[in-house]
A and B are shown apart, each in its own frame.
Chain A
Amino acid sequence: MTKQKFKSNTLPSLVMIGPVVLWLAFFIVIPLLYVAVMSFCGIDEQYNIVFRFTADNYKRLFNANYVQIYAQSLTIAALTTIICIVLAYPFSFFIARTLSKKKAILYMLVIIPFWTNSLIRIYGWRTFLGTNGWLNNRLLDFGLISSPIDFLFKPSATVLGMVYSLFPYMVLPLYTAIEKLDKSLLEASADLGAKGVSTFFRIILPLTASGIFSGSIMVFIPSLGYFFVSDILGGGNSDIIGNLIERQFQSGNNWPLGAALSMVLIIITLLLVKLYQKCGGDMESLGV
């Protein structure tokens, strides 16, 4: 009897996959559908959601201000990603090439700060960089500057906060890719007379490109949405897409418009992941 039951794979696979499917359905598919449906709804005078079909929210998405904010947000995200690559690449290379005992220590140094709440760390930067903050005071003490530098409340401060918050997400995939790199290939390249620069561009970079791709995805996407960074360090002067969404769900009290804006973010994310797959990216390395 039992043998027969297991001949068909239905029961075991239901048992194995069922919970996961339910989990995905309840926590991903249904919420996403809900957002999609809500984005076509309106609101009444009491700010309540009214379920009648309208495309007004989508029309409002093309408002010139919104378009500028998307562009600004994409620029901030792109800058964040590039800076993360430039900083994380040598760092990951260094970890991957050190002895394994030290590796754990180096890695811990990146991770441990992230055991503190990110809001607190971002506020820490504000205290550190303020016109009356530690950095400006030291620079003044040493006579390097004559009046405090305005570091904060600019788009550049937002980028700094993003880079700081998202750095580890770049390090992990890069580290994995660089560790896989076969040392004998580098030796072969040297034997064949390639200089360091050409080895880097023709051997190392192409072989670690997958790490750069997955790191970029993992940095770029959140940096479109981390509104608290642009609020706290950017001073609220340079909104990103995350701020737009947050505002409609909070002070704006217009959830359908917020939902439509969320759809923009979801679509950008999907396009980027598709592009990543097209470029031969491995979905597994996005999963962490």
Chain B
Amino acid sequence: MKKIIALFTAAAMTLSFTGCGGGTSGETGTGGTASVGETLNLFVWTEYVPQSVIDDFTKETGIKVNVSTYSSNEDMLAKVKAESEGAFDIIQPSDYMVEQCINQGIVQEIDLSKIPNFSNIAESYKKPSYDPEGKYSVPYLGGVGGIAVNKKRITDEITSYADLFKPDYAGQLVVLDDFRPVIGIASESLGYDLNETDPKKLADVKEQVMKLKNNIKLYDSDSPKSALIAGECNLGFCWSAEIALANAENPDIEIVFPDEGAFLFLDNWCITSGSKNIEAAHKFIDYMCRPEVMQKVLEEFPYLCPNKAAVELMGEEYTSNPAKNPPAEVIEKGNYNTNLDNDTIAIYDEIWTELKK
């Protein structure tokens, strides 16, 4: 009897311990064993690349695709550096993180001659400031860190990030579990820079961030829409497409673009320098630049799309929805993250720790 019990407990312990690591790691590291050209290891954002699109790629080319996901740029960087070289072939860093990856030497140049569909990308996205020669990255999707408001439950007019810091909204907010955007908007709400580095100003920012403490009910980067749809939270600071999807479920939930200028992001396809499946990686990126493929992506994850041919296919319903396709003036007025030095990161880290304690 005792032996049986011990056995069950041992089994339970093993299972629950393996569960601990389950949060961030998907299937990884199979690249080394499979023969070259047959397997591709993707490391992408959660809720960003539809499985059906990946399955179609495998059907068409016979290349098997393993997908792992992450929910912040810094997590991605840490993981790529920790894994053995070539564990991931393709990653999806945002704007400032592309620059960081180039500086760290963890991405390689992309051969655009192997990506004929690159011509579908709008000119204005082709040589971004973070990759001035456009050698290392191919833009995928972008968007805004917008404000989600449940207009039925919140009757006040919300127009700015600063409004989120008001004491009236205790326990109402869901925000991204990502320190750069959250501290960035606190800084903007005070009229400072999204990427503030002045320690004196950061002291004010810290004070401002602490006002959020009482307002935030939940930190969720993976699927903030769930809390909004379930009515758990009535205000949110999250990715624009999440708000578009929440709006589709409950029309009371609308997007607001802040007066201060919105937090912007643009995610890119990059090939890791350790990739052993370079040909397949190029094939995949080219496939992801096809208008019909991007159309499928946009139907599931309606973000801002640099692929103008795909946008043409999407039609009125997509282009006129501000949460799906943020207006040009919002993008113009908005700001991107930039890389910070270690000392500033340490201050950000301390602010974040104090907020989350």
Contact = CB atoms under 8 A, between A and B. Distances in A.
A26 B347 CA distance: 37
Given A168-B9, A244-B353, A47 B231 contact: no
B23 A228 contact: yes
> On chain A, which size bracket covers the interface?
35 or more
Contact of A165 (B16, B103, B179, B354): B16
Interface string B181-218: 00000000000000000000000000000000000111
Contacts of B19: 117-119
Contact of B356 (A111, A131, A243): A243
Contacts of B72: 250-251
Contact of B357 (A68, A104, A111): A68
Interface in B1-23: 1-2, 4-6, 8-13, 15-16, 18-20, 22-23
A156 to B, nearest CB: 14
A83 B355 CA distance: 28
Interface stretch (A192-200, A231-239, A267-275): A231-239
Interface in B305-355: 341-342, 349-350, 352-354
A68 B78 CA distance: 27
Interface string A216-250: 00000000001010010001111100011001011
B12 A250 contact: no
B16, B23, B216, B342 — most chain A CB neighbours (10 Å): B16
B77 interface: yes
Nearest to A116: B15
A152 B23 CA distance: 20
16 contacts: A65-B354, A69-B357, A111-B8, A111-B11, A114-B15, A117-B18, A131-B232, A165-B16, A168-B12, A172-B5, A228-B20, A231-B23, A236-B218, A236-B219, A237-B356, A288-B10
A115 interface: yes
Interface of B: 1-2, 4-6, 8-13, 15-16, 18-20, 22-24, 72, 74-75, 77-79, 81, 103-104, 171, 177-179, 216-220, 230-232, 341-342, 349-350, 352-354, 356-357
B216 A237 contact: yes
A47 B77 contact: yes
Contacts of A48: 81
A247 B74 CA distance: 10
B231 A107 contact: no
A243 to B, nearest CB: 7
B218 A119 contact: no
Given A237-B216, A237-B219, A249-B78, 8 more contacts: A47-B104, A114-B12, A130-B232, A235-B219, A237-B356, A239-B356, A250-B72, A288-B9
A161 to B, nearest CB: 12
A107 B5 contact: yes
Contacts of B177: 231, 236
Interface of A: 43-48, 63, 65-66, 68-69, 72, 100, 103-104, 107-108, 111, 114-119, 130-133, 150, 152-153, 165, 168-169, 172, 175-176, 179, 226, 228, 231, 235-239, 243-244, 247, 249-254, 288
Contacts of B74: 250-253
Contact of B1 (A104, A130, A231): A104
A104 B4 contact: yes
B353 A176 contact: no
A37 B53 CA distance: 45
Nearest to A228: B23
Given A236-B356, A288-B6, A288-B10, A63 B350 contact: yes
A115 B75 contact: no
Contacts of A47: 77-78, 81, 104
A131 B350 contact: no
Contacts of B218: 152-153, 235-237
A239 B75 contact: no
Contacts of A231: 23, 177, 219
A81 B24 CA distance: 28
Nearest first, the 10 closest Cβ-Cβ pairs linking A and B are: A236-B219, A118-B19, A114-B12, A251-B74, A235-B218, A111-B8, A132-B230, A250-B75, A118-B16, A117-B19
B12 A115 contact: yes
Contacts of A251: 72, 74-75, 78, 178-179
